[in-house]
Every structure is written in structure tokens, then in C-alpha cells.
Structure 1
Amino acid sequence: MSGIPGSAGSALRVLSTSDVAGIDIGLADVVSVVEEAYGTLAAGRSDNPRKLTVQPGDGHSVAYAMLGRDGVRDVVAIKTSYKHGLHEDRAKQHYYTTLTLYDDTTGLPVAMMDCGRVGALRTPAVSALLARELAAPGSRSALVVGTGTQGRLALPFLLTTLPDLDRLMLFGTHPDGIRAVREQLRAHFPERDVEVVTDLRAAAGDADIVLATAGPNTPAAVESAWLKPAALSVLVGYGIAPSTLHHADRVVATSAAQMRVTGTDMADADGRLREVDAEFPEVLAGRAEGRTDPGQRIFAYNSGLVVTDIALGHRFAQLALAQGLGTAVQVWQ
């Protein structure tokens, strides 16, 4: 059951950006919730259909719709995402994403919330889990490419799952973004700092883990030949070249179906994507192998699954509604 306090009748509790921003949740808690959601999916208790995508021919915007069901929480939800101005600088872009949750035990609505913070936490948590499971034994260095929303929490989450990392590198082109990455790292790990690099090729060659979180206009494109023989490269946004996929010894994706939808920019010259060797929920469940040899170069695709948004969004709804946050709206009267 959803366990959400304060859901009365058919009223929909709307949680704004400021409501969600005021909720305190630790990084380890986020990782735990996300990992549980993957386990539930792998056990066949949740449903995560392939996302729907629409985009105009000139590529100036993109929209996604994702429906899912969490079988542990008995929650059905739909997430929508719309970004406009993809050819513009980040400051000129418009981005809206929402998550609407329904209690599948009572049949009543739970909440609708701005999903920005949920995604900003969920995605780097998944990358950190990928790194924990797939990085070569003894990995000590990580390079984050990009300083946007996903890049800013990448290092704190990596240190949450891999506390022995001792060299943290960052490649970014926006001074404000670089400053924000440093601030987030020090907020969670006050004793740590990040090394800002300008020679991307050299940094990639030194990194055990390369995490690409940059936006579509980034000049960064790490090539497979730059990487260590046993390196793990994780793609969230942009910043690594298609060669990292096609020359990898092994490919792991959060969802092979979603990679075929959203990973087309990684296709080869003939428009083909490399086949996925294992899906990450199955790896976490122990039913598929991630890294099968310490010397393998692995490519991991983090497209995000709506079941992780549902699980984390449900946790936010519990915390918010317990505090009386949000506004009850009678949509269906």
C-alpha cells in the first residue's frame, strides 16, 4: 500500500518545486530507494514499459511520456518531460517535468509533483550504482564530463557508493557550473575537492570511471582509444563518442529498449547500435553478469527507468504530505 497520509477522497495533492526542494533526504537513502526499485522490477513485481517520444523535425524540442507501476508500493504513475530550445544556450531553454502518482490499492490519487529534483537525484544515484557494480576492482579515479543538473551531484553519489575513490576530476566549460559542482561536493563531503581538467584526453586516460553528463552542445567527445583498458564509461547525457559503445568489451544498459529509443546519437556510420549484453536490473538481481573480467572495458547506458522515479517520488510524497506540504486540488469535481 502507498502509505501516504493526508490523501482525502479524490483531491489531488500538488507539490510545487519549492515544496519538493524543502524535503531533506540523504544520498544513501536515495541510493537505497533506487536500488530497491530495480530489484522489484527484476523480480517481476513492477512494470516499466518503453517510454514514448515525440520530437519535431528540426529538433528544437523533445517530449517524453513514461507510465509505470511499482508492485511493492502498489502505486501507478505517469511521468511527463518536455524540453524546448535544445539548440539554445542552457539559460534560454525551457524544461518541465511532472510525476503523477495513484494508489492502486484504494484507487485514489496520491500526488502530482514537479519531478525535477526527483530526476536530479535519481539519475546520479543510478550512475553511482552502475559504477559500484561495473567499475574494475580497485578503481580509484573518476572523471565527470559536464556541469549541468546531472553533473552537479555525480561526484557526491559516486563517493556514496565508492568511498575509496581518491582522485576526482571534472571537465566543464561553464564557470557557474564548475562552481556549483564544487559547492555540491563540499556540501556532502566537506573534506573533498575536485580537480578541474582542461586536457580531456589526458584526464580520460587517467580515469577508471568516466561519467558523461554534459548537454548536447558540449565540445567534449571522449573516444574509446583514450580510455584505460579496463575503464568504465557511463553515458547519461553527452560527452563520450560512439566509439566508447562500439569498441567496448561489454555493454550494460538500464533498459535495452530505452537505449534503442534515446541512444540513437550513439549509432555507427550505418545507423546501427551495439547490442546490449546485460540489463542492469538483472545484474543487480544476480541473474546477469556485469563485468565478467577485470580487464574489460565496459560501456554503461543510464537512460533512467520510470519505476525509479515512482519509488523516489513516492518517498518524497510521503515526507511532504506528512509535513502538510502541497495544495489539495479538486480536479475531478
Structure 2
Amino acid sequence: MSDTSTAPVGAPVSGDDKHLRILSTTDLAGIDISLADVVATVEGAYRTLHGGLSDNPRKLTVKPRDGHSVSYAMLGRDGSREVVAIKTSYKHGLDKGREEQHYYTSLTIYDDVTGLPVAMMDCSRIGSLRTPAVSALLARECAAPGARTALVIGTGTQGRLALPFLLTTLPDLDRLMLFGTHAEGITAVREQLHTHFPERELEIVTDLRAAAADADVIVATAGGHTPAAVEADWLRPGALSILVGHGLAPSTLHQADRVIATSEAQMNVTGTDMADADGKLPAVDSEFPPVLAGVSAGRRSAEERIFAYNSGLVVTDIALGHRFAQLALAQGLGTEVALWQ
């Protein structure tokens, strides 16, 4: 894929005060962007946030009592790109199988210099890239020295690019394992790996305990119905466990030697399924932005078992969404809607 990372962060985008440019799923699917560009964009968003230039308030959550759906709203500002955006996310059918669920997410971006709208876009591809990029950055900063083996749990949207992104930041990984329960998902993971790293092979594992015991890095991306639940005493010394969705038992968090979170506040909102018998979560040793900035240690020793919580921050969606908007507008993609007239 082409490397487009040389485009300036603040490259201007078009807009006026009457129209809103809509970027559809199809528009965004046709944009060529390298994994390295995605990683660099996401890392830049974290560094800008740590520098105090961006704002990332706590997300708002709405969930009915029976738990059949969940909705999120996230507002933020990227200080290096000087844009403001709001992301919304709605998932229905949490009590049903994957094929019966409905999921919608969108991102609306405004230029905070001109005051004009930039674009409104489907945020599914943004999320499918941003999240594994964050996991890859967590792995780069927190994996034990000489890490060679990775295990991905889950074959859904977040699992399919987990290994290509891990190889982008940890190219010395030489054993790539996958635990999944959906044949079509396993095929999709294999296809994505071969698209980005055609020389690498995927090992499908069925004995999760044995695979976890061999893994230096575990990325758990499975859905809520997964049978997977890696326990702390399965892990080797020095193991890094990254939780994105499901697949790790609460013991991996509560018995970890060090806990890193992209946001402790968000972990306390969205990580309640990892609480102990008293409904409590342990304190976070460090959030991730200061780790990336070199202010806080991601790892203090090669033997530490580290738990990392990847909840995603809206500033990373904003940065990557703005990057996509730059590329889309340069190619003339999207539909302008006369929304305010």
C-alpha cells in the first residue's frame, strides 16, 4: 500500500457554512492508507493530548436496563490539527448473535480555525484501524524485550487487523497464533495477514491455555459471547495482555504486576465486566499517553506481567478521521448536502 504519511497534519480541507460533506462507507473504503501512516497518526494524537493541546472528555453512555443495546457519545478537540469533532456509536442486539446485531457509528468534524464543517463520515473503518493501531503501540511500549510470539483472541472487526498492526510495530514477532470460533472470521484474519505480510503464516490454535502460556503478547478482541477467558495463572512471566473486547478473565487484570490504560476514567466506565467480587477495579499504574511521551514507564522489568486496557480515545478517532477527510477531499470523494439552508 502507498505511504501517504508525508501529507501535512494541518492540510486544509474545503467547506462552507451551508453544506456538509458526507463520506460514506464506500468513499472511505477506496482510500489507500498504509498501516504505518495509521500508527503515526494515532501516536501523534496521543502525544498532542499528553502535551496538553487536545481535549478528550469522558464519554457519555446510555444503556437500557435489559442491556439489549448501548450508545456512546464522545466529544473532543485535536490541538495540532485544530479541529473539533463528535463521535456517536450505537449497537443494538447485544443479547443476540453477531448476525442479528446492528451497529452504527459516525464522526462529524469541524475546522476550529475557520469555524466551518469539514465532513461527516461513517466511522466504522476509522475504528477498525484506530483500535488495532493503539494495541500495536501498547505492544511496542509494553511488551517484554525480545518478544517473539503473539496470540490474538477473536476474529471480528478488531481481530482482523490485529496481527498486521502488531507486525508493523514489532516486526521481530515470528509466531502468530489465532484463537477463534467463527470459520469465516478465521478466513478473514488469514486474508488480512497475507494482504499486508504475505510471507507470514498464521497458526490456528484450539488449546487456549497452552497458547496463552506460550504468548509474549496477547490481544483479546472477541465478542461478548466468546468462550475464551484466559486466566492470570496461564500467563508466562513477562507476558503482556491487551484487552480490547473480551477473552481475558478478570484475574489477568487483578493479578497483573502493572496496569496500563489508555484512559482510567473510560476503563471505569466500560470495563465493569472485569470488576472483582466487590465490583471494584484496581487502580491504574499509568495511563498510556505519558508512557508514549517517555514520562512514565510502560514496563519496569522483563518479568512483569502487564495488563493493558485499550478503550480508545476520541482524539485518536478525530486525528484519523481528519486524515481520511484530507485524503478523501483531495480525491474529490463524498457528497455535499445542503444541510443548513
Range into which the TM-score falls when normalised by the shorter chain: over 0.9
- Paired residue type of 1:106: T
Asked if 2 retains the 8 angstrom alpha-carbon contact of 1:77 and 1:101, the reply is yes
What is the match of residue 58 of structure 1?
66
Alpha-carbon offset, residue 326 of structure 1:
0.5
Asked if 2 retains the 8 angstrom alpha-carbon contact of 1:6 and 1:322, the reply is no
Q: 1:86 aligns with which of 85, 94, 97?
A: 94
Alignment partner of 1:101 is 2:148 = no
Q: How high is the TM-score relative to the length of structure 2?
A: 0.97
Alignment partner of 1:254 is 2:238 = no
Give the alignment's Cα RMSD to 1 decimal.
0.8
Alignment partner of 1:282 is 2:287 = no
Alignment partner of 1:32 is 2:40 = yes
State the SS of the aligned residue for 2:158.
helix
Alignment partner of 1:180 is 2:188 = yes
Q: How high is the TM-score relative to the length of structure 1?
A: 0.99
What is the match of residue 129 of structure 2?
121
Q: What is the CA–CA distance in structure 1 between the aligned matches of 2:150 and 2:200, rounded to whole Å?
A: 13
State the SS of the aligned residue for 2:259.
strand
Alpha-carbon offset, residue 6 of structure 1:
2.9
Q: What is the CA–CA distance in structure 2 between the aligned matches of 1:155 and 1:275, rounded to whole Å?
A: 29
State the SS of the aligned residue for 1:270.
coil
Q: What is the CA–CA distance in structure 1 between the aligned matches of 2:289 and 2:177, rounded to whole Å?
A: 28
Q: What is the CA–CA distance in structure 1 between the aligned matches of 2:29 and 2:12, rounded to whole Å?
A: 19
Q: What is the CA–CA distance in structure 1 between the aligned matches of 2:287 and 2:13, rounded to whole Å?
A: 35
What is the match of residue 143 of structure 2?
135
Alignment partner of 1:44 is 2:58 = no
State the SS of the aligned residue for 2:11.
coil
State the SS of the aligned residue for 1:151.
coil
- Paired residue type of 1:35: E
What is the match of residue 268 of structure 1?
276
What is the match of residue 190 of structure 1?
198
Alignment partner of 1:317 is 2:316 = no
Alpha-carbon offset, residue 39 of structure 1:
0.2
Alpha-carbon offset, residue 11 of structure 1:
1.1
Q: What is the CA–CA distance in structure 1 between the aligned matches of 2:89 and 2:243, rounded to whole Å?
A: 19
Alpha-carbon offset, residue 110 of structure 1:
0.4
Offset from partner CA, 1:190-240 (integer Å, 9 cap, x none): 001110000000000000011100000000000000000110000000000
State the SS of the aligned residue for 2:71.
strand
State the SS of the aligned residue for 2:276.
coil
State the SS of the aligned residue for 2:246.
coil
List alignment gaps of at least 5 residues for structure 1. none
Asked if 2 retains the 8 angstrom alpha-carbon contact of 1:4 and 1:321, the reply is no
- Paired residue type of 1:51: K
Offset from partner CA, 1:82-132 (integer Å, 9 cap, x none): 000011111110000000000000101000000000000000000000000
State the SS of the aligned residue for 1:23.
coil
Q: What is the CA–CA distance in structure 2 between the aligned matches of 1:147 and 1:5, rounded to whole Å?
A: 35
State the SS of the aligned residue for 2:290.
helix
Asked if 1 retains the 8 angstrom alpha-carbon contact of 2:17 and 2:116, the reply is yes
- Paired residue type of 1:12: L
Alpha-carbon offset, residue 9 of structure 1:
3.6
What is the match of residue 67 of structure 1?
75
Alpha-carbon offset, residue 330 of structure 1:
1.5
Asked if 1 retains the 8 angstrom alpha-carbon contact of 2:13 and 2:325, the reply is no
Asked if 1 retains the 8 angstrom alpha-carbon contact of 2:107 and 2:321, the reply is yes
Moved more, 285-294 or 55-64: 285-294
List alignment gaps of at least 5 residues for structure 2. 1-8
Aligned length, in residue pairs: 333
State the SS of the aligned residue for 1:152.
coil
Asked if 1 retains the 8 angstrom alpha-carbon contact of 2:17 and 2:340, the reply is no
